[in-house]
Structures are given as structure tokens and as C-alpha cells.
Amino acid sequence: MSDANPFESLQEQVDDAAAYLDVESDVIERLKHPERVLELNLTVELDDGSLARFKGFRSQFNGDRGPYKGGIRYHPNVSRDEVKALSGWMAYKCAIVDIPLGGGKGGIIIDPTEYSEAELERLTRAYATELRPLVGPDRDIPAPDVNTGQREMNWFKDTYETLERTTAPGVITGKAIASGGSEGRVEATGRSTMFAAREAFDYLGQDISDATVAVQGYGNAGSIAARLIEDLGATVVAVSDSSGGVYDPDGIDARAVKSHKNETGSVTGYEGTEELTNEELLTLDVDLLVPAALENAIDADLAEDVEADVIAEAANGPLTPDADDVLTDRDVLVVPDILANAGGVTVSYFEWVQNRQRFSWSEERVNDELETVITSAFDDLVDAYESKGLPNFRTAAYVVAAQRIADAYAESGNWP
Ligand code: NAD
């Protein structure tokens, strides 16, 4: 795992695309920095009556195409630069899938496993209270990310609605269905990774049902991607989480290993498998590799040893820019995060639309519309890649996305 600064990685990715864009350099500079970043010190009463202080952030990267949109992460490694990078990736993600939203991201530096549910509720409500002037269904719409889910979203919504004395389910997405959530939201990120991987194999003229697959990170994104890719007929041979990995060349049942993780807390020890390290998993000789944990999982050195033909990035920023260069040289097809994991924000957008319509869509409609969005974004990416002779799919995705943001900015004009 590399310690590359994710914000510098984002800026490098934008620079790589800028060389192929019909956009002035001063506008490109604008597309490399967040519009604003809020830094917070949250004081929360713990169950024993003592006070604890937590640092939190919200970065609003770009709002040229619509309200800021992006998740809230609870993790000890959250930092200002990480949140800034994640907010930028959100802006480009919303643009590549062409939904009318900008990019934002939030985070709190915390290991949530060390706190009770009541403490986490007080923390989430404190965070929502501080963010209230900045967020809203037309301003900035948070969502879940690592270590947050429906529970935290429901607390956030309730806090906002109570303080505003209104009902505004569209202030946040990723809620429970009973709180105004959408069918299909929980599975959406893994589902888009599956669609992206399927399209990539199709592009290469290969059938994904013959593929062997390794998945790093077996949480929401990774475990669902594994299950849906398995449903296409592919064979999942290795999966891992922060405790380690398991391998079975004959195939691991993606659902059963998830049940094992739910029961024991980890994928390790799953019956009939061999143990392997995360590094061994990332360099396994498989057809498809799905990094679904955190940033910087693969650096340039590790990239030299990657054996997969296709990488579908379920995680945000799992490859460093240097790793990208190595994999481009080695002809490994990387479907970038801003497309492969865009299902989460796309169905968040559908949730927001349903909240505004005060009308619910069926799961079938959600999944069908998601498939249309991801496959047409993939086609736009391939068009740019081929027509402009771009070096790789990531640069193609940034070229399409950055042009869309720059066009929106040009139409609006600069003011004041
Ligand atoms: P999660 O907390 O549900 O799962 C993360 C998993 O990664 C856990 O199983 C954890 O044990 C594992 N992990 C952590 N460090 C690891 C390491 N060093 N090696 C192997 N495994 C490790 O989180 P998630 O929501 O699935 O998010 C995972 C990634 O997907 C993040 O990069 C996130 O930003 C991205 N993502 C998530 C969504 C979403 O809707 N959940 C949407 C877009 C992008």
C-alpha cells in the first residue's frame, strides 16, 4: 500500500486529461481545487459523561452542474486532503455518468468500532447540525461512504428536518426505505462495478462468464460486486478484507463467504480455502481484479506484478498515478473508479429524484435505469478513447467529464 497523497493523485489525473481538452489552462486550474472546505471540531459527550473532540470535514469541490453530492466517511485515516480528493472524484464521477450533480465529500477522523451506537448517534447529529447551513436538497446532498450507512443517513435526515422544521428527505441519500430510501441503493455500487466489468470484457471480445475474479475488500461495494459478477457465470477465486484473504482455485461461493464474514467478522477461515495476504491477492493470476477497499492499494511496484487482464475499480482511488502508468504500459485494461463505482451516486440521484417526486420507483426500474446510465457512460468513454487516441480509459473518463464541467462553467459565466 502506497502513501501517495490522494489529492495530488486527483490533480495529476486532471492534468493528464487537460492535455487533450479544449479548455483554457486557467479553467483547468479551477477544476483541480475544491470551491470550499469546512473543517470542524465536534465535541461529543461519551456514555461515561466525559467529552471527546473529533475533527471532521466537508469539501464542496464543484457545483457547476448541480448541487454538491458525496458521501460521509468515518475512518481513522480521514484527512483534509483525502476528503478534498474524494470530493473531486465525485464531481468527475457525476459528470461522466451525466447526472445533474456536482461533487462533495465529508469525513470524520474516528474508528467507529470504539464507540457505542448512542455515541455515534450524538456525533452524527453534531456533524449534521454543523453542516446545516451548507447542505440541503438544492445545495449539498451527502450519502454513505466507508463505515457509514442507512443508520447514519437516517440520523442526519432527522436532525436536518427537526432543525429546519420541515420534511426534506432529499437532503441526504442512502437512507433506509422506511426513511425515504430507494430500492436498489444498497446494491448499486457493486452493480455498476459488475456492469463496467461486463462491458470491459465485451469491449475486449471476451466473455466474462469464463473469467476468474479476485476481490480486495469485502464490504458493501466488494461483496455485492462479487455476487453479481458470479451471477454472470464468472468464478470468484479470492476475496479479502482488512484481516486477510482467502483463496480457492475452484471457486468461492460469494454469498456464503459474505455470510461467514457476517458471522465471524472476517472472510478469513472460510472453509475449504487457503489463506493469502492482500498483496498475494492483488497479484494473483486472474482475469478480473476488483479493488474494493481503500485508496492506494496498488502502487507502481505492485503494478509490475499484477497478473489480471482487467481491473474494475470499485474503490475510489485504489491505484496511484504511477501504478496507472505501469498498467497502461503493460496493457492492463483499467475501468476507472469514476465509472465503475458510479452506481452508488447514480442510484443516490434516483433516490433524490424520487424524494422530490414524493413517488417510489420499483427495484426493476431502478436497476434498468442504472444499467442504461452505466452502459451509455461506458460508450461515451470508449468514443473519446478511440476518437482522440487517448492513452487509457481513465484519461478518457476525465476528458469526457472535465469537458462537461467546463462547458457548464462556460455557459454560466464567471461571477462576480
Ligand atoms: P465498507 O466499509 O463496507 O467495506 C470496506 C472493506 O474493505 C471492508 O471489508 C474492510 O475490511 C476492507 N478493507 C479495509 N482495508 C483493507 C485492506 N488494506 N485490504 C483489504 N481489505 C481492506 O466500505 P464500502 O462502502 O464497500 O467502500 C469501499 C470502497 O468503495 C471505498 O473506496 C469507497 O469510497 C468506495 N465506494 C463505496 C460506495 C458505496 O456506495 N458504498 C460508492 C462508491 C465508492
Q: Read off the pLDDT of residues 330-386 as tens digits, 9 standing for 90 and up.
A: 999 999 999 999 999 999 999 999 999 999 999 999 999 999 999 999 999 999 999
CATH 3.40.50.720 domain position(s) in the chain = 188-340
**Cα 294 to ligand 1 centroid, rounded to whole Å:** 6
Q: 340 C-alpha to center of ligand 1: Å?
A: 14
Q: Nearest residue CA, atom 18 of ligand 1? A: 242
Give residue 237 CA to ligand 1 midpoint distance, Å: 19
Question: Which residue has its alpha carbon closest to ligand 1 atom 42?
Answer: 344
157 is catalytic: no
Separation of CA 386 and ligand 1 centre (Å): 32
Ligand 1 near 120 CB (within 6 A): no
**What's the confidence (pLDDT) of residue 254?**
98
Does residue 416 have a cis peptide bond before it, meaning omega lies within 30 degrees of 0? yes
Q: Is the CB of 351 under 6 A from ligand 1?
A: no
Separation of CA 338 and ligand 1 centre (Å): 15
Please work out whether the CB of residue 336 comes within 6 Å of at least one atom of ligand 1.
no
Residue with more model confidence, 411 or 83: 83
Task: Write out pLDDT tens, residues 275-297.
Answer: 999 999 999 999 999 999 988 99
**Of 92, 151, 189, best ligand 1 pocket probe by most atoms within 8 Å of the beta carbon:** 189
337 touches ligand 1 (CB under 6 Å): no
For domain 188-340, give the fold: Rossmann fold (3.40.50)
CA distances from 213 to 72, 139, 208, 289, 322 (A): 29, 40, 10, 6, 24
Mean per-residue pLDDT over the chain, rounded: 96
**Cβ-based neighbours of 329, under 8 Å, separated by 6 or more:** none
pLDDT at site 22: 86
Identify the residue whose C-alpha is closest to ligand 1 atom 35.
315
User: What is the percentage of the chain residues whose pLDDT exceeds 90?
Assistant: 95
Find out whether the beta carbon of 220 lies less than 6 Å from any atom of ligand 1.
yes
CA dist., res. 211 & res. 228, Å (int): 13
For 78-85, what is the mean pLDDT? 97
Q: Answer whether residue 412 shows pLDDT above 90.
A: no
Task: Please check whether residue 252 is in contact with residue 273, taking contact to mean a CB–CB distance below 8 angstroms.
Answer: yes
Distance (Å, rounded) from C-alpha 242 to C-alpha 354? 36
Per-residue pLDDT at 416 exceeds 80: no
Percent of the chain at pLDDT above 70? 100
Q: Tell me which residue of 196, 199, 98 sits closest to 403, measured CA to CA.
A: 98
Would you state the torsion angle of the CA atoms of residues 59, 189, 208, 291, taken in this order, to the nearest 10 degrees?
50
DSSP string, 55-110: EEEEEEEE-TTSSEEEEEEEETT--HHHHHHHHHHHHHHHHHTT-S--EEEEEEE-
pLDDT of residue 255: 98
Please, where in the chain does CATH 3.40.50.10860 lie? 38-169
* CATH T-level topology, domain 38-169: Rossmann fold (3.40.50)
* pLDDT of res. 415: 74
* Per-residue pLDDT at 216 exceeds 90: yes
316 CB under 6 A from ligand 1?
A: yes
Q: Does 70 contact ligand 1 (Cβ within 6 A)?
A: no
At residue 244, the pLDDT reads: 96
Distance from residue 293's CA to the centre of ligand 1 (Å): 4
Average pLDDT over residues 138-149: 95
3 confidence band (pLDDT: 50, 70, 90): confident
Q: How far is the CA of 241 from the centre of ligand 1 (A)?
A: 9
Using a 6 Å cutoff on CB, does residue 312 contact ligand 1?
no
Q: Which atom of ligand 1 is nearest to the CA of 241?
A: 21
Give the mean model confidence (pLDDT) for residues 69-86: 97
Q: Would you list the DSSP string of 270-284?
A: -TT-EEE-HHHHHTS
Pick the catalytic residue: 69, 93, 105, 175? 105
Average pLDDT over residues 241-245: 95
Ligand 1 neighbourhood includes 171 CB (under 6 angstroms): no
Q: Which atom of ligand 1 is nearest to the CA of 143?
A: 40
Question: What's the pLDDT band for 414 if we cut at 50, 70, 90?
Answer: confident
pLDDT in tens, 21-54: 988 889 999 999 999 999 999 999 999 999 999 9
Residue 1, pLDDT score:
63
Asked if residue 242 has its Cβ within 6 Å of ligand 1, the reply is yes
